[in-house]
Structure 1
């Protein structure tokens, strides 16, 4: 009698969340080898995003125990038999996951995949399987198709993006979500045009990425509104022509005064309904407000219906910067290498055993974009 072939596995070290609110627990887990369409990546560093805390705190329902992390960057270790675009040794950034077969995906609208929520927040592959386990059984994974708060991650060929080997890999992970969300919202979603005015409501990683992108896009009036003075100072350094401390000044009145009637474009990245109302009210006639902040599921917001209707304002939702990652992420890397998109100024590095400190510093506003490093 022939023994059944065994699935090859490897030991990894990863941060596991086992209950609502955390903490992240560093544990030894077992990870399966890649399936035919999958890629095994040795993770070099992973950015920490607001959405990791949203999942940890169950503002979005994610099965537990789970390995989070969705801004991974690393080196390809192994590829499945069907993988074509990536090879072992490639430097890669991991991004969001999409199915590739629903109507929005077939139409090229990858960020609006009909299966986006289960693929990115379901804690498993599309077929419901997981690849990670401990001594007690399965640990949920495939968070944003990657679960990259670990020394190794499994991703699909679709959500792995090759980047130049001469770029600083440990810095690039946040391009997979937070940075591409802010920059893409400006460049792809809002389509901010040269000579226009833009107001970012929220000065975190997404809002400041939007400020940098607005400068690249040619906006001539760029306003950053936040309540943290250090963030506002950094916004000026990154390209904002004006800043508004919303704790001291009415941001709607300030934006209207600066622009002479209202901003052509605004972006709300705080996830607060009251701030969204400000971002809408601060628009000029026929202005456009983009929403990228992620509040708890079911959160509702209000606005003046006639104030929107009679001025032709538009309010649009934007996911992951409306980006096609294989095209957009390399373009952000090139802009960074040219000195035109200095997102490294947002970053502070942490070791894996400091991951809870990284989360705390992010939530307190001490660090704008934490990146957790996994060694050389």
Structure 2
């Protein structure tokens, strides 16, 4: 894999006109997605006294947010961020406030709580896909675009680490439902600031590609995103089971998972700081394969310290894999479907994350733990194989990707 370091640095991305303001506003709004899950879980559990109800409510909220994301993203492409995101953010904030009011005290009516959560999830603005599509318009120097995507991915990773910590501090002084109100405020205020940025694009032309909504050639990035989500969703349970099997204190588990996040952040920054000569699709498969092999090997770790090191190594492939998936989706989508393309990748990651934990929970205790790690890593390997297969190329072509254009793009990227 031939590479060489490129200049300028990440600072060059933030020096792009209007980038700091636009990216900063987007991060404020996206922090809501780092705080809302824990806030909803804690407040619904406290209000209903039932873990089963809180789990069902979270499933409704997450399912509506994830599976309707491509539809919401298509509205952003069709009408432009200003006209599409503000109504979504207003509705999202309104339904979150209703959910907070319902769960402020115990005895909340379950059907109303579930309805408010589902409606809030259905309206969640697709801020991540919109920001990633906007980077392509803000950054005129195309060599900076991978850095912008890597910076975006690492920042998002930090949001999902800091968000729960922020809620944890808040609930020490106020009811858990206050975390839901905070999430509503962050999203609404951040979105308002985001859509008023000077370089915000208007409606894009209606796509005329052969694929759904003009989104073309998405099978490789969506396959890898799903595989990465499936692999990572069971890691928490696997690490917890590893610690319990060897009689380690469960308080050490967050440090192991922190190593995974730290590795991802470092890997994302390094990935963006390198000018790759190999095509994005090849890198995508290699990153996914590297993640799968490392997770599979982690199950053979003799102790928790070795496992921690293995998790850090595995994390180094996460952000590069997802960043490359988003980059490839942006490259292959038609001009009028950039946001929708990123939303499909985002939805794939989250859909994989939703299903993997359930399967992992059923397997632990029924087969050796090392085999469970191997199966978790195997999903990423299968995804890498699917993304790199001839069948994948055929499917992408069937969706409307021009094989000649793909060859030209690959040659240019070398």
The TM-score, its normalising length taken from structure 1, stands at 0.24
Greater share of residues in strand: 1
Greater share of residues in helix: 2
Query: Structure with the greater relative contact order (CA < 8 A, sep ≥ 6): 1 or 2?
Result: 2
